[in-house]
């Protein structure tokens, strides 16, 4: 009995122990399940990450392709720009050759016309009556006029192609020098000249000099009808913009035709009233706009005119 | 016509003081008229293209017989010339030891900036633009003659 009990007990203990083992095994299994799930989660997360990375890569590739396309576009654009540049240079060369030819070949016959008319005047004066001699003079005058027109037109065309230099210019000094120079040719006239302090400007000195020459020549020309000519050069600042002006009390002009004022060969007066060929202001406008500035005018018939222009303040 | 009378006289018997390189017949006639007024008419020889100018100065081609004869005191050179352009003629003159000391005056219609610069770079002695007005043309030619033939001193006879 004792033995049976012991045996039973032992079995019992064994069973208990087994139970303990079993539960331990179950625990471990549980742990395994949890671990597996964690691993699966991790795997899923990794897969998601890979997915994300894949998408990211596709996105990058797309961006890269887009950039390549843009680069190709830029290159194509550069090629086009280069071609345009070459065409422009060729056109410029052609224009230069044309001007060169005009300058030589168009003026030579004029010299002949003028010269041989003079030869007739000198050698055959006794055989030609005064009216005939007047016609000869007209031939000469007109051939000279045409020569001047050709020169001015060539100058105008050259201006568009010429390189601009850029230095600081003492505008006040330059304006004064130009005026003094021009006045030398009209000492018999009474001119009240006023020049305000002018700020310096940046530009091509030779060209800006030409601007003053043309504007002041105009002012002097159109005030010739006054007993006292009044010419003023000044500077005005309005907001960000400062502009120089040249003002006179001359013949002025009708504001309705202000658009024509700066056109090539456009004139608002007959040559009998005031001489000129209508290129002076066109030249001035071209110079000012090539400097990146602008020019405009105000006036009224018989009330004088005022020309304003803006020049860049800084070196380009 | 006037041109022919000049060519009638043989070159060997004339003292040539001015070589006029000019292709325009009207310009030649007007220039000769100006020279006539200044009594240098028979001291001028005219060639009508750049190649002839170089032949004359180098005594080659049709001018081989002039070997040893004195060179002109002045070359009046137009720019737009047949065969060889005036600037090229100038370059050849100024790079030839035998003739580089002869004064060269460009006498042309245009005052194109690039021509002016190039001429002076090549060593031109003066650059004159022919005036359209005939009186001025005569004046310029007479002053040219006076200055280069009378006032100016050259290192050779």
B130 neighbourhood in chain A, CB within 8 Å: 111
Residues 6+ apart with CB under 8 A from A227: A190
Alpha carbon of residue B125 to chain centroid: 12
Instruction: Please give the C-alpha separations between residue A194 and each of A198, A212, A234, A279, A296, in angstroms, as whole numbers.
Output: 12, 14, 8, 26, 21
**Nearest to A100, CA basis, from B86, B37, B20:** B86
Q: What per-residue confidence (pLDDT) applies to A1?
A: 65
Edge-to-edge strand list for the sheet holding B74-77: B44-47, B18-21, B74-77, B104-108, B126-129
Query: Per the CB < 8 Å rule, is B110 touching A104?
Result: yes
pLDDT at B20 over 60: yes
pLDDT per residue over B122-131, tens digit each?
A: 999 999 999 8
Q: What per-residue confidence (pLDDT) applies to A149?
A: 84
Contact B6, B46 (CB under 8 A): yes
**How much is the CA Rg of chain A, to the nearest whole Å?**
46
Query: Per the CB < 8 Å rule, is A107 touching B109?
Result: yes
Three-point CA angle A230, A236, A240, nearest 5°: 160
**Token pair for B140:** 């310029």
CA distance B17 to B44: 6
Is B23's Cβ below 8 Å from some Cβ in A? no
pLDDT per residue over B37-77, tens digit each?
A: 888 877 899 999 999 999 999 999 999 988 888 999 999 99
Which residue of chain A comes nearest to B138, CA vs CA?
A115
End-to-end alpha carbon distance in chain A: 122
Contact A314, A267 (CB under 8 A): no
**Nearest to B96, CA basis, from B127, B46, B54, B64:** B54
Segment (H or E) for A246:
strand A241-248
- B3 pLDDT tier (thresholds 50, 70, 90): very low
CA distance B125 to B119: 9
Residue corresponding to tokens 């040893």: B68
3-state secondary structure of B62: helix
d(CA B104, nearest CA chain A) in Å = 20
CA distance A285 to A109: 32
pLDDT at B100 over 90: yes
CA distance B92 to B99: 9
Contact B47, B56 (CB under 8 A): yes
CA distance B45 to A289: 50
- B145 pLDDT tier (thresholds 50, 70, 90): confident
Residues 6+ apart with CB under 8 A from A271: none
Is B134's Cβ below 8 Å from some Cβ in A? yes
- B5 pLDDT tier (thresholds 50, 70, 90): very low
Q: What per-residue confidence (pLDDT) applies to A219?
A: 93
% chain B with pLDDT above 90: 54
Burial class (CB in 10 A: 0-12, 13-18, 19+), B94: middle
- B2 pLDDT tier (thresholds 50, 70, 90): very low
pLDDT at B11 over 90: no
Average pLDDT, whole number, for chain A? 87
A119 neighbourhood in chain B, CB within 8 Å: 30, 33, 134
**Nearest to A197, CA basis, from A164, A219, A175, A214:** A175
pLDDT at B4 over 80: no
pLDDT per residue over A9-18, tens digit each?
A: 777 777 777 7
B31 neighbourhood in chain A, CB within 8 Å: none
**How much is the CA Rg of chain B, to the nearest whole Å?**
14
d(CA A100, nearest CA chain B) in Å = 7
Is B128's Cβ below 8 Å from some Cβ in A? no
Q: What per-residue confidence (pLDDT) applies to A2?
A: 73
Q: What per-residue confidence (pLDDT) applies to B157?
A: 62
pLDDT at B12 over 70: no
Helices (H), ranges, A102-202: 107-123, 130-161, 171-183
Q: Tens-of-pLDDT digits for all 316 residues of chain A?
A: 677 777 777 777 777 777 888 888 888 888 888 888 999 999 999 899 898 899 899 999 999 999 999 999 999 999 999 999 988 888 888 887 787 777 778 888 889 999 999 999 989 989 999 999 999 999 999 998 888 888 888 888 877 777 888 899 999 999 999 999 999 888 889 999 999 999 999 999 989 999 999 999 999 999 998 999 999 999 999 888 889 999 999 999 888 888 888 887 777 777 777 777 778 899 899 999 999 999 999 999 999 999 999 988 765 4
User: Which residue among B113, B132, B135 sits closest to A110, beta carbon to beta carbon?
Assistant: B132
The mean pLDDT value for B99-117 works out to 89
Query: Per the CB < 8 Å rule, is A144 touching B132?
Result: yes
Residues 6+ apart with CB under 8 A from A260: A266, A268
């Amino acid at each position: 009995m004792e033995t049976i009990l012991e045996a039973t007990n032992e079995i019992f203990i064994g069973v208990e122990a087994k139970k303990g083992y079993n539960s331990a095994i179950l625990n471990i299994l549980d742990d395994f399940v949890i671990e597996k799930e964690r691993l699966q989660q991790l795997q899923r997360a990794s897969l998601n990450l890979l997915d994300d990375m894949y998408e990211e890569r596709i996105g990058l590739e797309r961006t890269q392709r887009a950039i390549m396309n843009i680069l190709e576009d830029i290159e194509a654009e550069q090629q086009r720009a280069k071609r345009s540049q070459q065409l422009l240079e060729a056109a410029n060369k052609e224009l230069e050759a044309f001007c060169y030819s005009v300058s030589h070949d168009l003026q030579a016959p004029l010299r002949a016309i003028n010269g041989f008319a003079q030869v007739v005047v000198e050698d055959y004066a006794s055989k030609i009556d005064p009216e005939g001699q007047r016609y000869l003079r007209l031939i000469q005058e007109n051939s000279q006029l045409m020569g001047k027109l050709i020169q001015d037109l060539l100058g105008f065309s050259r201006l568009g192609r010429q390189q601009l230099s850029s230095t600081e210019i003492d505008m006040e000094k330059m304006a004064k020098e130009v005026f003094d120079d021009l006045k030398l040719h009209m000492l018999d006239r009474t001119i009240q000249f006023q020049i305000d302090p002018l700020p310096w400007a940046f530009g091509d000195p030779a060209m800006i000099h030409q601007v003053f020459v043309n504007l002041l020549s105009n002012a002097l020309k159109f005030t010739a009808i006054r007993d006292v000519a009044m010419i003023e050069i000044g500077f005005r600042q309005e907001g960000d913009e400062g502009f120089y002006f040249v003002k006179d009390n001359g013949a002025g002009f009708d504001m309705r035709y202000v658009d024509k004022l700066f056109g090539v060969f456009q004139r608002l007066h007959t040559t009998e009233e005031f001489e000129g060929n209508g290129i002076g202001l066109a030249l001035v406008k071209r110079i000012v706009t090539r400097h990146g500035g602008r020019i405009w005018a105000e006036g009224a018939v018989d009330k004088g005119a005022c020309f304003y222009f803006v020049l860049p303040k800084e070196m380009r | 016509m006037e041109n022919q009378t000049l060519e009638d006289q043989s070159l060997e018997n004339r003292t040539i003081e001015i070589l006029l390189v000019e292709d325009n017949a009207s310009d030649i006639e007007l220039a000769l008229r100006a020279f006539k007024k200044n009594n240098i008419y028979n001291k001028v020889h005219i060639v009508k293209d750049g190649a002839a100018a170089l032949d004359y100065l180098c005594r080659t081609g049709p001018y081989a017989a002039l070997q040893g004869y004195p060179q002109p005191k002045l070359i009046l050179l137009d720019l737009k010339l047949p065969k060889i352009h005036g600037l090229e003629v100038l370059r050849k003159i100024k790079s030839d030891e035998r003739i580089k000391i002869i004064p060269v005056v460009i006498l042309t219609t245009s005052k194109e900036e690039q021509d002016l610069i190039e001429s002076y770079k090549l060593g031109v002695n003066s650059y004159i633009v022919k005036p359209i007005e005939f009186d001025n043309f005569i004046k310029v030619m007479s002053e040219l003659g006076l200055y280069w033939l009378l006032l100016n001193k050259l290192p050779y006879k």
